[in-house]
Structure 1
Amino acid sequence: MREIEERKMAERQSHAKDEFLAMLGHELRNPLSAISSAASLIGLPGASGEAVARAKQIIQRQSHHLGRIVDDLLDLSRAMSGKILLNRVPLDVASLLSTCMETYRTTGRTADYHIRLAAQPGGWVNGDATRLEQIFSNLLDNAFKYTPPGGHIQVEAEVDDDEVVIAVHDSGVGIAPELLPHVFDVFVQGTSTLDRAQGGLGIGLALVRRLVELHGGSVYAESAGPGEGSTFTLRLPRTEHRTEKKATMMEHSEQAKPTVLLIEDNEDGREMMAMMLNCYGYQVHHAADGVQGLQTAASEHPDIALVDIGLPGIDGYEVARRMRADPDTHHIKLIALTGYGLAEDQRRVLDAGFDLHLVKPVDVEHLLQAIGNCTAGAPAYVKQ
């Protein structure tokens, strides 16, 4: 009997993985198709200025969507293997929730819903702001996904002795009793439909649970059944609020712009990043491989170098080691650009002599912040 149950469980898991791969293909192809069509429209001679502007918005939005998909996949892998590093500081949960909700309002996500936020003051936790925002966003995304327009979504936060309790209530489709115990399992989500209107990869809640556990908390779901809405509640250890002095940092516009060397073998990526930095007033030299990058660094003496790790010939680690060993280039600030963000990747980057570590894709705000931190002598490693 036990063997039969184990076989059925294995079959269900195999089926869930097959469905996940099918959904992943669907979720990737949709934004890629939109980006491809928008890029083609921009190149048409008869395209109006309004159409081109709209196409650019679509490319930006869909690129962000693709980045979210990749981030969720990578984050889940890191979280499940315990390789996510938390940058923990005292945080006010009420303030974090308010900021998160304001972002949703600004982007128009809340327009068709009745939204209420009730956050009790004094709920401080020792947490990673980026990861806690990721938890809240995933829970809100889940509520919006499964609540029809016109529905109610309520977010509450209160202090319960030595815990801070956050609950997200929705009046949506609810959760079937047989699904309720498994909503935080990987690849599990509600009934899929052909039009995939609700979308998603079925990994958001699994990531939520793991991130909450890394913070020393717990999360659980409740629902009276289909059509009865659902409530997701998470409990985090409470901490005492201690006022700390914040380090003052110069704004980008308040300091002289450093000259930048960009070493990147991807031609399109190199061109776009150079153009972007030029738009912000930076003088940019660029190189397509490690050897050329070392030659340019020696001849141009830039203030800072952005170095891709996966370079042909000699990789970014070797570039950093040689630049640090050369008296003519050892002073140059080094920022690593890589698609890998695990703890051992960060260690290798810093051991090679880099000042900061950025995980691709890097948006303009993170890049400018990294350059500002680096030239201001901030500690190594900028968390994404």
Structure 2
Amino acid sequence: MAVAKSKQTSRFRGFCLTAKGTPKWWDVIVTPILDKEGQVSQLLATSRDITDRVQIEHDRELILQHKQAALAESERINHIKDEFLTVLSHELRSPLNPILGWTQLLQTRRLDETKTIAALEIIERNVKTQCRLIDDLLDMARVLRGKLSLNAAPVNLLGLIKSAIDTVQTAAIAKSIQINPVLWDIGQVSGDNVRLQQIVWNLLTNAVKFTPSGGRIDIRLEQIDNQAQITIIDTGKGISLDFLPHIFESFRQEDASVTRKHGGLGLGMAIVYQLVKAHGGTVTADSPGEGKGATFTVRLPLLNVNSKENQSSPSPEQNLDLTGIRVLIIDDDPDSRELVLMVIAQAGAEAITVASATEFLNVLESFQPDVVVSDIGMQEVDGYTLLRQVRSLSPEQGGQVPAIALTAYAAEIDRQQAIAAGFQKHIVKPIEPDKLVVAIVSLLNRQELNN
């Protein structure tokens, strides 16, 4: 009708079925035919099947949309990465400032005893902060590469949670935060004791970090059906409803601005999520909103075990006296050698340090050490190769001497390599002095029992 009235040729696309019922797209041209008086007497319509062309156009539009979406997602990820790298640089540099500054002030020897003690405490605290940042980065790298490994064994969550509470208690007391545990001895779960403690510690540390002075943190351990449920509730700053769905994403922080009140890399919750998932469990976060606190709930499958057979009991007080013990130390880094020598000597041991495998083998038979402390990453001959050479010697030549790998290679595969090479213990740098002495005492006690 419109064509008849306008007397103009019209063109349009239409979608309709053929006589056989097949759906088709058509390019239709309608041309009016005029009589002698100039009136429309007929309409001529021609149709051309353009279904294939329409499909190609549709596919091209979808591809374009997908590319635009991928570009937008790539830009979002790059923005998150840039933001993360900015935060990373800040967080890694921040502890270095007090470490370097107070170290230089200590070297002036102008600080009184009180200031010296305070300076050493500040240096120690910031070194530990630096170590936690590096550990988080390494853990996230293992997760992203799918290399996160677990040493599974029956674990009692009750003692594990108590230990995690003890670890954060000092920080909580400093902020007058009350931690209220309600813990039931519900049995065991199968998992990696260290990683499970890391889950609870990360969540508790997060709660202390974001809870203001005078706040409260409740932690509960209970059995829900056939699962262990750990619930941590705080009265802290809460989580915005916009950010809540992203709380467990890697490299995401609710506030990454330069004016933010709380430090960190934004990896803690992502690591918790991956560790819980690796244990066959679930973790959820809930918050009514900003300023209203948060609740984190972890669920792990319980073992169907009633016996206490595999539960660890508190170890008796360790004797840290190494008097009469001979220790041979090898490390190609002079600062590390001097530190280990000082730690062991202060515990009463007789110690010799060497810097190379050649020196080590020359000293081994004549010194006859009770224990060896060896670095792994050394020039010319690494610690693995050296220990294999030692184990090929006769007992009289020192071939059965107990050995500890003290190394900065911290991955599970590094521990496995060290044990395979003949080390009895694998200890990761940096280590607190007492822990090194405890490791030596423990190893010698075990050796005595085996003999």
- The TM-score normalised by the length of structure 2 is 0.77
Return the alpha-carbon distance in structure 2 between the equivalents of residues 34 and 241 of structure 1: 50
Match status 1:50 vs 2:114: yes
Query: Percent of pairs identical after alignment?
Result: 34
Correspondence for 2:58? none
Corresponding residue for 2:398?
329
Q: For 1:351 and 1:101, how far apart are their aligned partners in 2?
A: 35
Give distance in 2, aligned partners of 1:4 and 1:176: 29
**Runs of 4+ displaced beyond 3 Å:** 106-111, 245-257
| Partner of residue 18 from structure 1, selected from 74, 77, 82 | 82
2:148 aligned partner: 83
Question: Counterpart of 1:224 in structure 2: which amino acid?
Answer: P
Distance 1:300 1:368, change over 3 A: same
1:142 aligned to 203, 206, 215, which one?
206
* Matches for 1:158-177 after TM superposition, within 5 Å: 158-177=222-241
What do the CA deviations read for 1:19-70 (whole angstroms, capped 9, x no partner)? 1111111111111110111111112242211111111111111111111111
Counterpart residue type for residue 300 of structure 2: L
Partner Cα distance (1:195, 1:273) in 2: 41
In structure 1, the partner of 2:416 is: 347
Counterpart position of 2:36: none
Q: Give the Cα–Cα distance (whole angstroms) in 2 for the partners of residues 106 and 172 of structure 1.
A: 18
C-alpha deviations, 1:264-285, integer Å up to 9, x for none?
A: 1111111111101111111111
Rg comparison, structure with higher value: 2
Question: Structure 1 stretches of 5 or more lacking a match?
Answer: 380-384
Cα 1:293/1:109, change in 2 over 3 Å:
farther
Partner residue of 2:438? Answer: 369
CA distance in 2, matches of 1:223, 1:108: 21
Which residue of structure 1 aligns with residue 352 of structure 2?
285
Distance 1:364 1:270, change over 3 A: same
Displacement of 1:254 after TM fit? 7.7
Q: Higher strand proportion, which one?
A: 2
How far the C-alpha of 1:149 sits from its partner, in A, is: 2.2
Partner of 1:33: 97
Q: Is 1:104 matched with 2:104?
A: no
Q: Tell which has more relative contact order, 1 or 2 (C-alpha 8 A, sep 6+).
A: 1
SS at match of 2:352: strand
Distance 1:100 1:30, change over 3 A: same
Change in 2 beyond 3 A, CA 1:377/1:283: same
Query: What 5-or-longer segments of structure 2 have no aligned partner?
Result: 1-64
Give the AA of the match of 2:400.
H
| CA deviation after TM superposition for structure 1 residue 98, in Å | 2.9
Secondary structure in structure 2 of the residue aligned to 1:376 = helix
- Indicate if the aligned counterparts of 2:323 and 2:347 stay in contact, CA closer than 8 A: no
What residue in structure 1 maps to residue 336 of structure 2? Answer: 269
Query: Deviation per CA, 1:127-186, whole angstroms, max 9, x where unpaired?
Result: 333222211111122222222223332222211010011111222222223322221111
Query: Contact 1:309/1:338 (CA < 8 Å) preserved in 2?
Result: yes
Deviation of 1:110 (Å): 5.9
Q: Over the residues paired in the alignment, what is the CA RMSD in angstroms?
A: 2.4
Cα distance change, pair 131–104 in 1 and its aligned pair in 2 (3 A): same
Is the contact made by 2:405 and 2:423 (CA closer than 8 Å) also made in structure 1? Answer: yes
The CA deviation string for residues 73-128 of structure 1, in whole angstroms up to 9 with x for no partner, is 1122234423333252331x333323322333345546422432222332532333
Letter in 2 for 1:341: A
Contact 2:321-2:348 at 8 Å conserved across structures? no
Q: Check 1:178–1:196 CA distance in 2 against 1; reply closer, same or farther (3 A cut).
A: closer
Residue 180 of structure 2 is aligned to residue 116 of structure 1: yes
Distance (whole Å) between structure 1 residues aligned to residue 191 and residue 297 of structure 2: 17
Distance 1:376 1:98, change over 3 A: closer
Work out the number of aligned pairs and report it. 378
Residue identity matched to 1:371: I
